[in-house]
């Protein structure tokens, strides 16, 4: 029963995080208007995917590992995302779109994190420490589309990882990490007719 209560609390926290994100970035479009939980579960793919992830963890916590693995495969086929059943995803996370999202087995995602499409939280060897592991995102980290976060690193609370950035070392809290853009590519695009 305790696992089911945790499941319900996590889904509610995810819904509140999703609703909070929509309130922080309001638009006039009908797709961005606040919705009840049940409607959001049907119409918002990122939130829907998180519900399935929470269910996968519930099945794992109920000691049905084969069931969790099957649900992981269903996530891959239904949402185009690969999320391992052992990844630690705190309640209160927001997934925007979710297509192409990859979260390895030992990744940790803190509360109030926002993950966009095509984000990878992957296992790798740290280039200096020579240890293998996956990233930990502390509370409130935003990871923009296409970003790749690799290895046993910690991304500090409140940090923003820009679109298409590759991060393989620790990031202090409150940082902004942007993908490198060469002056040549910027100049060429500015000179283009």
pLDDT in tens, the chain (193 residues): 699 999 999 999 999 998 888 777 666 555 555 678 999 899 899 999 999 999 999 999 999 999 999 999 999 999 999 999 999 999 999 999 989 999 999 999 999 999 999 999 999 999 888 999 999 999 999 999 999 999 999 999 999 999 999 999 999 999 999 987 645 444 444 454 5
Closest CA to 102 of 86, 80, 77: 80
- Res 186: pLDDT: 46
Distance in angstroms (rounded) separating the CA atoms of residues 52 and 42: 12
Distance in angstroms (rounded) separating the CA atoms of residues 146 and 99: 10
- Res 27: pLDDT: 61
- Res 114: pLDDT: 97
Tell me how far CA of residue 15 lies from CA of 103, 104, 150, 153, in angstroms: 20, 23, 28, 28
- Res 182: pLDDT: 46
- Res 109: pLDDT: 98
- Res 187: pLDDT: 47
- Taking the whole predicted model, whether its pTM rises above 0.85 is answered as yes
């Amino acid at each position: 029963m305790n696992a089911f209560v945790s499941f319900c609390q996590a889904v509610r926290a995810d819904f509140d995080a999703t609703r909070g994100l929509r309130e922080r970035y309001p638009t006039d479009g009908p797709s961005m208007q606040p919705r009840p939980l049940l409607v959001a579960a049907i119409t918002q793919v990122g939130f829907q995917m998180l519900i399935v992830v929470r269910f996968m963890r519930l099945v794992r916590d109920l000691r049905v590992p084969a069931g969790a693995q099957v649900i992981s495969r269903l996530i891959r086929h239904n949402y185009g995302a690969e999320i391992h059943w052992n990844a630690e995803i705190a309640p209160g996370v927001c997934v925007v779109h979710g297509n192409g999202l990859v979260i390895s087995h030992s990744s940790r995602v803190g509360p109030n994190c926002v993950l966009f499409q095509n984000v990878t939280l992957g296992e790798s060897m740290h280039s200096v420490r020579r240890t293998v592991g996956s990233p930990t995102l502390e509370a409130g980290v935003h990871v923009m589309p296409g970003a790749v976060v690799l290895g046993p690193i910690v991304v500090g609370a409140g940090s923003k990882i820009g679109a298409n950035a590759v991060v393989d070392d620790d990031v202090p809290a409150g940082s902004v990490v942007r993908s490198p853009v060469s002056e040549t590519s910027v100049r060429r695009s500015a000179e283009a007719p």
